[in-house]
Copies of this chain bind each other. A is one copy, B any other.
Amino acid sequence: MAFSFRVVKSDKDTLARAGVVKTSHGKIETPAFMPVGTQGSVKTLSPDDLEEVGVQIILGNAYHLYLRPGPDIVDQAGGLHGFIGWDHPILTDSGGYQVFSLTDLNDVSEEGVTFQSHLDGSRHMFTPERSIEIQHALGADIIMCLDECTAYPCTRLEAQASAELTLRWARRCQQAHERLNDEQDKGQALFGIVQGSTYEDLRQKCARDLAELDFPGYALGGLSVGEPKTAMYEMIDAAVPQLPEHKPRYLMGVGMPEDLVDAVSRGVDMFDCVIPTRNARNGSVFTQNGQMVIKNAQYSRDFRPIDSSCDCYTCRHFSRAYLRHLFQAGELLAPRLATLHSVCFYMKLMRQMRQAILEGRFKKWRREFLSLYRNGSGVYGQIVKVQ
């Protein structure tokens, strides 16, 4: 089945929209959040867990899976879906971001980027063509163009050169994708990535140029890399109007619950971020009243669930006191139960947004959600406020 996207309803007050992405492994209702399964596993969770909390799509990292176990093994296993036992949509990133953030030595040329593995120091090269080959072997439903991800801050000249390189690479990625599809078309959709650092006009131009290449979807990359939140929102606002209305928009690596709400208001449809899973493993979970550092001593005799309004397995069966004990004792069940809850929270957040858009009450919902989330209700004890 071919990839498709349809806007079901646009919000009357904001740029928010509810849509449906269709892939050969099932549909994704947008706005959608993709939990990150870097190495072929959303850390601590099984596919059953993910299904139970309503996850419709997960993300895998081409960089990590390329280094270990290697795309040939994944391919032989029937692709990433078969290898990891997840029969629903998957998106893989190109490896670009990891090459620039994880490796010590990376060297960019017109051809591509050479880098040393963060695992064993071995030298490798990703070209646009190689990244697409790898992502074809992995077989995800949505794959991403190789892009150069500039650090923040960077000069206008650097940002411009980088965005232009990313655009040239996008063309090569598209051509490589088409060539490989001629051999075997797995129905994979290749998304382009808008770069341009924090320069509004560069973002606009990059988005416009990519739009001309007619990708089935577009991502905003190089954000949430240290720039102020206001700059991130400006860049979203600069790029979104340049992108076609009928294509999904994916904000990479974002973010906190309030970021998701803001970005949805600005027209973004898809997100991925390690925050819910990573924070959970570190003992901090999300609630409608903000983050709760569940491993804190204050919860040692608190026999209420994390969130009494939550119906996840963790909240149905375990108290804050027990979770706190598990974290204190270093039990492996602790990160698992915390992760399950926080992913459930994110999924519910996305469903709430979608429902509010569909019912024409997104702005009201947003006001209520953010008020509760930013201020805490006090019901949950001392809440760690989100910055």
Contact = CB atoms under 8 A, between A and B. Distances in A.
Interface of A: 39-41, 43-48, 64, 68-69, 73, 76-77, 83-85, 281, 300-301, 303, 313, 317-319, 321-322, 324-326, 328-329, 331-333, 335-337
Contacts of A303: 76-77
A332 B329 contact: no
Contact of A333 (B44, B77, B281, B318): B44
B44 A77 contact: no
A322 B84 contact: yes
A40 B323 CA distance: 11
A71 to B, nearest CB: 12
Given A68-B325, A69-B321, A46 B85 contact: no
B331 A332 contact: no
Stoichiometry, copies per complex: 2
Given A46-B336, A336-B44, A73 B301 contact: yes
Given A76-B301, A301-B73, A85 B317 contact: yes
Nearest to A76: B301
Contacts of A69: 300, 321, 324-325, 328
Contact of A313 (B39, B45, B48): B48
A332 B43 contact: yes
A327 to B, nearest CB: 11
A162 B281 CA distance: 45
Contacts of A85: 317-318, 322
Nearest to A39: B329
Nearest to A303: B77
A329 B84 contact: no
Contacts of A76: 301, 303
A310 to B, nearest CB: 15
Nearest to A48: B313
A355 to B, nearest CB: 29
